[in-house]
Amino acid sequence: MSAVTKRTSMTLFSDPRDHYSHRVRMVLAEKGVTVDIVDVVGGKIPEDLAEVNPYNTLPTLADRDLVLYESNVIMEYLDERFPHPPLLPVYPVQRALSRLWITRVEKEWSSKLDLLMLGKGREAALTKARKELRESIIAIAPIFAEKPFFMNDEFSLVDCCVAPILWRLKEVGITLPEKSTRPLFKYMHMIFERDAFRQSLTEAEMEMQE
């Protein structure tokens, strides 16, 4: 048995700068779950964690004998394990649409942010990613005027995926035109002031807005 699965409390191995780890920390904070958070800096995966995660990826959640290492899987597990407050809609159609939005966020936003946060590669590729991410966010900004949260009347897992990306825009050199994206700025202010969001931030993430 690995030292990870011998732990008596739930443990999250988390990259303090990574938006995938951040989204899981948001879910934990929203649920009020007590968890041991182990910061893994610079990709230095502990040996005992590498034994139970064949991909050596973060975040990784250890809950006694269970080890999960995909952020979306972890989020849904936590939502089912700790059902209050629910972070996915009750009805199958709405649940499917939420999952579809998460998939779109990952394909259209996350991949570009990953490249920019890494900061490696040709400058032309980074400039292209920055431009495409900025334009995509601006294009979708009007939908934030329709509902208080991302395509939903209630805070959901989709917001847990979107908020960490928006928080990092300044870090990767993206500014948005406030006049034409006013509903988005209102949404960002509301989410960033949310108690659970503030609790989910690491010291490294707080520095991103300084």
Sequence-distant (6+) residues with CB within 8 A of 164 are 19, 22, 23, 26
More confident residue, 2 or 25: 25
pLDDT on residue 122? 87
Stretch 39-56: mean pLDDT: 86
pLDDT on residue 20? 98
Structure confidence at residue 2 as a pLDDT band (50, 70, 90) = low
* Residues in the chain, total: 210
The pLDDT tens digits of the residues spanning 128-182 come to 999 999 999 999 999 999 999 999 999 999 999 999 999 999 999 999 998 889 9
Domain architecture of the chain: domains with CATH:
11-81 (3.40.30.10), 92-209 (1.20.1050.10)
pLDDT on residue 63? 93
- Rounded to 5 degrees, what are φ and ψ at 60? -130, 130
CA dist 64 and 119 (Å) reads 36
**Percent of the chain residues topping a pLDDT of 90:** 84
pTM (2 decimals)?
A: 0.94
Helix 71-81 / helix 157-167 crossing angle, nearest 10 deg: 130
| Residues forming beta bridges with residue 61, ordered by sequence position | 12, 68
pLDDT on residue 39? 94
**Rama region for 87: left / alpha / beta (φ>0; ψ in -120 to 50; rest):** alpha
pLDDT on residue 49? 86
Q: Could you write out the DSSP letters of every residue in 171-193?
A: TTT----TTTTHHHHHHHHHHHT
